[in-house]
Amino acid sequence: MRRYLGIGDNIAVLEWNDSRLGGFMPYLFRPWEIDQPGDTDVAVFRADMNGAGIRLDLPGKTVACPDERMAALELEYALTMYAQAQLDDHVQVHGACFGTESGCVLIVGTHGIGKTTLALSAISQGLYALSDDICPFDHDMRHLLGFPRPFKVAVDILAMNPCPVPVDCPSFYATADITYVFTHEPPGKYCADRLPLRHILFPNRRPGPVAFEQMGQTEAMQLLLTQGFNYVDRDSLDLARTLLGVLIQAPPLRFGYGDSFEAADAIRDLLT
């Protein structure tokens, strides 16, 4: 079994030899799937199930996995790293991104503040997901691109009532901390390929009603650099100049909320 993915200017091929790997192999980065290319170099990601487990042949290394769960973790990680490298000429922000046909918001905040839960809540309220964790800008720096990596959802989110995960999104349990939820399935229902950025939101979790508050560029820039980028990029003056243009066309807002479903509703109203 084989699938080709077009990522940036390059092509990756996913191959697997056993239908028991069908719980995740067919879904990995599916929006990027393309027809079989002609005579061109491809990066190979191959999973061979045998009596000893699963052997993964990945670009630059081979990994022996005892079961499908470990294989899924290794494959997703390798594909994500490969995809990020192919999109290296795009500014990539750590955050979550979702929206409507009219535009999207970029949520930037510290680890654990609830970006994934908020994004899932938004999807269950009818908004489109673009990405969770890795949010690439288009070259025009006005649109964000979909990065169809599966959402990594912990058991406490799955246990929420109501649960923010749509029931018709395929999922694959890997560990207690990671159930992969493929929000780009069914195709076109819960995800978008590219949307214009309307606002950058900096969440503040606290009890009470949802509230948006204007922010100055200085505070927003400081938060964006420290929470949205790695230690190397956050000291790049060129990046700061580029991001200033983004802050001008997508005004930053401080965003207080307690309930993620109410927050998602408020964001949809904000985008109207």
Partner 1 sequence: MDRTFIPRVIDPAAIVEMDDGVIVRIGDTLHTFNSTGCEIIELFDGARTIGDIIEVMVARYPDDDQVAPAVEAFFDELENLNMLNRSE
Interface positions with partner 1 (CB under 8 A) = 216-218, 221-222, 225, 234-237, 240-241, 244, 247
Gap between the Cα atoms of 27 and 30, Å rounded:
5
Closest separation in Å from C-beta 226 to partner 1: 10
Closer residue to partner 1, CB minimum distance, 223 or 271: 223
Closest separation in Å from C-beta 149 to partner 1: 29
Closest separation in Å from C-beta 234 to partner 1: 7
Q: In the chain, where do the E strands start and end? A: 2-7, 10-16, 33-34, 43-50, 53-58, 61-65, 92-100, 103-107, 128-136, 143-145, 151-153, 171-173, 179-181, 194-205, 211-214, 252-257
Which one, of 9, 82, 86, 70, lies nearest residue 44 by Cα? 82
Task: Tell me if the bond preceding 150 is cis, omega within 30° of 0.
Answer: no
Closest separation in Å from C-beta 210 to partner 1: 25
User: Would you state the structure tokens that stand for residue 40, as one six-digit string?
Assistant: 């061109």
Which CB contacts under 8 angstroms, 24+ apart, belong to 265-270? 265/125, 265/210, 266/210, 266/212, 267/98, 267/105, 267/122, 267/127, 267/201, 268/100, 268/122, 268/125, 268/126, 268/127, 270/105, 270/198, 270/199, 270/212
Closer residue to partner 1, CB minimum distance, 61 or 241: 241
Closest separation in Å from C-beta 202 to partner 1: 15
User: Would you state the structure tokens that stand for residue 105, as one six-digit string?
Assistant: 């918001």
Closest separation in Å from C-beta 154 to partner 1: 33
